[in-house]
Structure 1
Amino acid sequence: MNEFFEQIAVYFETVPLWPFLIFGFLGVVALMIDIVNRKRRTYAIENFRATIEEELADMYPVHKRWPKNINHYLTVRLPEMHQNFEVLRVFIPQKNLPEYNADWNNFRDFCRNLTDEKIAAAEQSPVSGQPPSNEPDPKEVFHKLIENLLKHTHFK
């Protein structure tokens, strides 16, 4: 066993140390980049969640009320939400990216197509003699779309 350690010691005496220093430096740089990327990812997730929770506070997570002129209300908030969507998109794993894009497109389309008339029609109780509407409740659809977007913030 002593011979083994002596061989290793002789090896380190004859080999130059600069390759080990370079590999050590590269390891430190890689660790620093990983720390910075983790902080950026955490910041992107927090911004995305905060935007949804602040901008849509009346409607999510607990639905309090639909604002007047819902189409305008939602479309005005879409650009900021889209910016946070794009920032978070960088940190989404490649295999989840198509689903993330589809969830955003579904949410965006829902926000653009939702009108006060659709909400009023959904909130009216069905009159006797009329069949119930086949349209899903906008509240449920809205919550489902938000949940689909937020599930992408829970990755490892």
Structure 2
Amino acid sequence: MRLSLTAERRIDAPPEAVFALALDSERFPALFTGYGPIPALKRITPLAPPAVGALRSLENSDGSKLMERITELEPPRLHAYTLSGLRPPLAWLAREGHARWEFEADRSEGVDATRVAWRYEFELTSPLAWPLAAPLLRGCMRAAMARCLERMAQALEGAWRGERR
């Protein structure tokens, strides 16, 4: 059984810049601040250059460590990965997460912008996990994702406006 989440946002910067920030192991951790029981991201350590099959080690603010394996990579359009190593209490509810970031150019308002869709599909440990997993992930993880996209927009939009002057 799987549980799906989506966070979307338009960011006033070109897809190349938004894509680069989403994969930036130095800058991205400060943008994912968590929400409720979902911890903030403290550090990302790439174990190989970005490519399909490459691993990234993640350290969270609560001391937990996770692993990302890149499953799709098409700069600047698509980045997907599998998140594993969840620890209790989340590990009691979900085995792993499958994330997919899509970046689509959007010139509808006359500026170089990007429509970002960040989707997560969590593989639940059992159908019995649904009553707890659904509110936790839909409430807290989706909020953490939306907050992260907002922080990405704040980081990029000011810099991008400055470059266009």
TM-score by length of 1: 0.23
More helix by share: 1
Which of 1 and 2 has higher RCO (CA within 8 Å, sep 6+)? 2
Using structure 2 for the length normalisation, give the TM-score. 0.22
The structure with more strand, counted as a fraction of residues: 2
